């Protein structure tokens, strides 16, 4: 089994269409589960770094790890707009 590296996570995210200028949706589960209590935010990808990517969330900047896009993290999920 191939060891997951920061570069392989970034390459996998880029294959899905992650790039600067791409719109994203961030879905936060308030209670840790996918129930009715969820909050959704939107933003635009600004830059890709080795371990994370940076987004303009409309008035503030936020960074996300590639795992939040590629895998189901508990509580927070990042989705590319249109997918």
Summarised one tens digit per residue, pLDDT across range 4-45 is 676 888 999 999 999 999 999 998 776 655 555 567 899 999
Closest CA to 45 of 83, 8, 75, 80: 80
If one counts every other C-beta atom within 10 angstroms of the C-beta of residue 38, the result is: 13
Q: Is the pTM of this model over 0.85?
A: no
- Rounded to whole angstroms, how far apart are CA atoms 12 and 40? 24
């Amino acid at each position: 089994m191939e060891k997951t590296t920061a570069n392989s996570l970034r390459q996998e995210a880029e294959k899905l269409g992650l790039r600067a200028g791409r719109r994203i949706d961030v879905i936060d589960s308030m209670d840790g589960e996918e129930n009715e209590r969820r909050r959704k935010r939107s933003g635009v990808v600004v830059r890709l770094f080795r371990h994370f990517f940076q987004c303009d969330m409309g008035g503030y900047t936020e960074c996300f790890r590639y795992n939040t896009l590629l895998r189901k993290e508990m509580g927070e999920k990042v989705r590319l707009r249109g997918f």
